[in-house]
A and B are shown apart, each in its own frame.
Chain A
Amino acid sequence: ILNVEQSPQSLHVQEGDSTNFTCSFPSSNFYALHWYRWETAKSPEALFVMTLNGDEKKKGRISATLNTKEGYSYLYIKGSQPEDSATYLCAFNGGGADGLTFGKGTHLIIQP
């Protein structure tokens, strides 16, 4: 069983502040790292897919970086807004037919 760890488990941030959190994964047999955003009572939705060491992806105020050699990815949110409140999941693909191994998520709460 692959070990995909996310930290912190939960995070409270003031509206307008920037924040970041971490996903660590096996540095061997790396194929891709996925980030998903999961709002309460909805289903997970894809944010980014990252495949190359040094990859940096951006969508609006959210960005992510990837270090495959040391096995970690950071997700950054700039100027947090209440609508950013969600659980952010990372998922590792090691090339197996079974697809993705998910971390437990970082639960982000933006306080007005």
Chain B
Amino acid sequence: NAGVTQTPKFQVLKTGQSMTLQCAQDMNHNSMYWYRQDPGMGLRLIYYSASEGTTDKGEVPNGYNVSRLNKREFSLRLESAAPSQTSVYFCASSLAGGYQETQYFGPGTRLLVL
């Protein structure tokens, strides 16, 4: 039981390049989330998916797109990377998004945009 997995662990991009961050969970969770973590900031929500087939913007969605490919997988795409997108990206999942439910986090992807 791997929980939440993310690939890659680390990536360096040049400004303007594109890439997709992958996230998968094997806990049969309905809700999935993408956060970014920057120094001195809390975890900020980029996009979330309350259930398979739905996605919604979070606090900081600009410059990102997401795809909920199936119940297990939720990917985050940077179409044209900018230095401001240098960050650590965390994917998380919860059973049904209920207010008491714990979110389970992946190990993170460190992204450096030059």
Asked if A and B are interacting partners, one says yes
Interface positions of A (Cβ within 8 A of B): 1, 4, 31-32, 34, 42-46, 49, 51, 89, 91, 93, 95, 97-105
15 pairs from A and B in contact (CB 8 Å cutoff) = A32-B99, A43-B4, A43-B90, A45-B105, A49-B100, A51-B99, A89-B42, A91-B43, A93-B99, A97-B48, A99-B33, A99-B94, A102-B35, A102-B43, A105-B42
B74-107: CB near A (< 8 Å → 1, else 0) gives 0000000000000000100010010111111111
Alpha-carbon gap, A101 to B4, bound state (A)? 20
Interface positions of B (Cβ within 8 A of A): 4, 31, 33, 35, 40-45, 48, 50, 56, 58-59, 90, 94, 97, 99-108
Asked whether B42 lies within 8 Å of A44 as measured between CB atoms, the reply is no
Q: Which chain A positions have C-beta within 8 A of B56?
A: 97-98
Alpha-carbon gap, A19 to B58, bound state (A)? 34
Q: Among the listed A42, A89, A97, A102, which residue makes an inter-chain contact with B97, where contact means beta carbons less than 8 Å apart?
A: A97
Q: Which chain A positions have C-beta within 8 A of B4?
A: 43
Beyond A31-B100, A32-B99, A97-B97, 17 extra complex contacts between A and B, CB < 8 Å: A1-B59, A42-B107, A43-B106, A43-B107, A44-B105, A45-B105, A49-B100, A51-B99, A97-B48, A99-B31, A99-B103, A100-B45, A100-B103, A102-B35, A102-B42, A102-B43, A104-B40
Q: Which chain B positions have C-beta within 8 A of A99?
A: 31, 33, 45, 48, 94, 97, 103
Q: Which chain A positions have C-beta within 8 A of B45?
A: 98-101
Within the complex, the shortest CB–CB distance from A101 to chain B, in Å, comes to 8
User: Given A43-B105, A97-B56, A98-B48, A32–B42 Cβ distance below 8 Å?
Assistant: no
- Closest residue of chain A to B39 (Cβ to Cβ) is A104
Asked whether A104 lies within 8 Å of B99 as measured between CB atoms, the reply is no
